[in-house]
Amino acid sequence: MKTATFWTIRICFIMNKAKSSWFVYTKRADFKAIAERFGIDQVTARILRNRGICTDEEIDYFLHAGTNELYDEMLLPDMGKAALILWQSVKEAKYIRIVGDYDIDGVCATYILLKGIREAGGRADYRIPDRIRDGYGINRSIVLEAIGAGVDLLLTCDNGIAAVDELKEAKDHGLTVIVTDHHNVRRDEKGTEILPPADAVVDVKRESSRYPHEDICGAVTAWKLIRALFRLAGLPDDRWLTYIDFAAIATIGDIMALKGENRIIVGEGLRIMNGGRQIADKNAYGSACLGLRTLIREYHLDDKQISAYHVGFILGPAINAGGRLETAESALRLFLTEDPEEAVQLARHLISLNEERKAMTEAGVEQGIEVVEHSSGNDKVLVVFIDGLHESLAGIVAGRLKEYYARPVIVVTRAQEGLKGSGRSIEAYNMFEGLCGAEGYLTKFGGHPMAAGLSLREEDLDAFRHLLNEQAKLSTEDFVHRIWIDAPMPIGYVTPKLIGELERLAPFGQGFERPVFAEKGLRASDFRILGKNRNVLRMRLKEDRGVQLDAIIFGDAEKMMEEIRQAETIDILYYPKINEYNGRRTIQIEIREYITH
């Protein structure tokens, strides 16, 4: 549980809607002793404590663990059984069909299984559901299609744990079935697990799981199965590690917490994408996948240090774009091709789809804001009907509106049958429980506390919105965006050594956010606006003790410059970085937010 001291509540986002308040972590520990024991700065020790990394064992694992310390796949339920069934199918040249999902996790999981099984000598193909026609996960038509094609083994990834009826039909027709998934297991009214009737069910969320960390994605689950398969096939571990970049991409893209072994997977995957490995028999470095290397190059990232940010906000959305606007097979074809010219064409097609998706998203967000301002601005839970919005974008638009208003948001649009919606929530509101309280108006729904999907009849929309808000126990304080400060730290404390130590804490992302520091009473001068869009403000910050450092902030540079110029002092939230220019390295403060006085 977070503990905090209150900093201030007089901040507004640039979008001018959601207020944010600053809080300082007050978690206690002997930071000096931790720093001495592990040879780190006390600030670094404090950050680890703030992120819930407390014991010597946890700190040592965080600082020093590598791929040799990845968790044993045999701790996952049914993993041994699944690997033996798969290996037997490979040896007997059985027809294996992989059924994935249309998002980034499902695409990466399908790629890992397909390439891994083929590398082990197996005969496999794949099927990914169409988002609009098929919906999520394996369905009856996919099962019947597999039966008709003479498939022997049906292997799911990133789905299948809830497909009880569908997989029963597969078993009734004599198919062997392996489920690999990471989603929650269904339960009956007594709380007993309802598992699909498969020959093996590998899911970290099962009660019988002995796996140390349950926040792994579907692609990591599939990757661990390939490791078990390769061991049975006598293949070395370095062949299994060939696919770690795809496990990393899925971990970031599916917003898994960057804790435990997820940090190792993401860190090593990024290292490989940044050229950390020579490709066998080729004069090239980086990922073994031609398509991934091509996508990186087409985004002009091949000369940059690729981080979790680049995966989460550039590469990942492009991989997802096919499944949103077209078919997820667009991304799989890119990753499977061995033709350099085709790889360029497919990568550019995904980039083009993503640009189209971004334009459609921006239009959807603008429409959503207009709807809220005219009809539901006072609601605690915003239910926003956007006519004409592509249903695959409802979740993205809901997320953007949630950030804008700092309230739970459900975006609804017309679908083939009635209305479909997707919701994104805030910490104070359990969206899944909220939907349970209004399920009488829903034809279908599912999700978890922070996100959900639903379907309903158009004539029930107003009543659904009214009931949801009537039942919501939210106050105005819940609509204030909270920013957690790791430490109030004078900019004069920042050194190149400390910055280097902070950067070694990367990768940053879900569950291990980039550190945030704060200082009050700074004076600003020497303003300069940068960037072709004039969206970067550079200034000089000075402490009372005389220390001066350059700082930058992104946003409406002219507006911010005018505001700060008129102020006597400013308080800032910041992160320190090294700025390299013309061979010169200097400390630079990147401001996240500020208050003027």
Domain ranges of the chain: 4-64+482-596, 76-240, 377-479
In one-letter notation, the amino acid at residue 136 is Y
Q: φ and ψ at 421, to 5 degrees? A: -140, 165
Q: Are 108 and 247 in contact (CB under 8 A)?
A: yes
CA-angle at 492, arms to 490 and 495, nearest 5°:
115
Amino acid 280: pLDDT: 61
Q: Which of 200, 201, 169, 197 is nearest to 183 (CA)?
A: 201
179, β-bridge pairs? 156, 201
Neighbours of 486 (CB within 10 A): 24
Q: Tell me the residue length of the chain.
A: 597
252's tokens? 């970031």
List all residues 6 or more positions away from 72 whose beta carbon is below 8 Å from its beta carbon. none
Relative orientation angle of helices 244-253 and 218-233, to the nearest 10 degrees: 160
Q: How far is the CA of 124 from the CAs of 28, 116, 119, 590, in angstroms?
A: 53, 10, 10, 49
In one-letter notation, the amino acid at residue 305 is Q
Amino acid 189: pLDDT: 84
State which residues of the chain have pLDDT below 50: 1, 3-17
264's tokens? 């190792």
Neighbours of 470 (CB within 10 A): 11
Amino acid 481: pLDDT: 82
Measure the CA dihedral 158/163/164/166, to 10°.
-130
C-alpha 556, offset from chain centre: 28
Q: Are 342 and 122 in contact (CB under 8 A)?
A: no
82's tokens? 């699944």
187, β-bridge pairs? 193
Measure the CA dihedral 283/285/288/293, to 10°.
-110
CA atoms 251, 253, 255, 258: torsion sign: positive
Q: Which of 570, 551, 573, 549 is nearest to 495 (CA)?
A: 549
CA-angle at 584, arms to 304 and 507, nearest 5°:
35
502 vs 376: CA distance, rounded Å: 43
Amino acid 527: pLDDT: 96
328 vs 561: CA distance, rounded Å: 45
Neighbours of 232 (CB within 10 A): 16
Class of domain 377-479: alpha beta
**E strands, 210-367, in order:** none
End-to-end CA separation in angstroms for the chain? 33
Amino acid 278: pLDDT: 67
Q: Which of 390, 486, 457 is nearest to 50 (CA)?
A: 486
The pLDDT mean for the chain works out to 91
Kindly report whether the peptide bond that precedes residue 129 is cis, defined as omega within 30 degrees of 0: no
| DSSP code at position 512 | B
Amino acid 282: pLDDT: 62
Looking at 254-328, list the stretches that DSSP marks H as alpha helix, in order from N- to C-terminal side: 261-273, 290-298, 308-310, 316-325
C-alpha 361, offset from chain centre: 18
Amino acid 187: pLDDT: 84
340's tokens? 């350099």
In one-letter notation, the amino acid at residue 584 is R
Class of domain 4-64+482-596: mainly beta
Amino acid 467: pLDDT: 96
Q: What is the CATH number of domain 76-240?
A: 3.90.1640.30
**E strands, 364-408, in order:** 382-385
List all residues 6 or more positions away from 490 whose beta carbon is below 8 Å from its beta carbon. 519, 543, 545, 547
Relative orientation angle of helices 42-50 and 496-503, to the nearest 10 degrees: 30
320 vs 326: CA distance, rounded Å: 10
Q: Are 288 and 330 in contact (CB under 8 A)?
A: no
Q: Which of 195, 141, 190 is nearest to 170 (CA)?
A: 141
Q: Are 209 and 203 in contact (CB under 8 A)?
A: yes
Rounded to two decimals, what is the model's pTM? 0.89
Amino acid 444: pLDDT: 85
440 vs 22: CA distance, rounded Å: 39
Annotate 553-572 with b (16+ C-beta within 10 A) or e (fewer): beeebeebbeebeeeeebbb
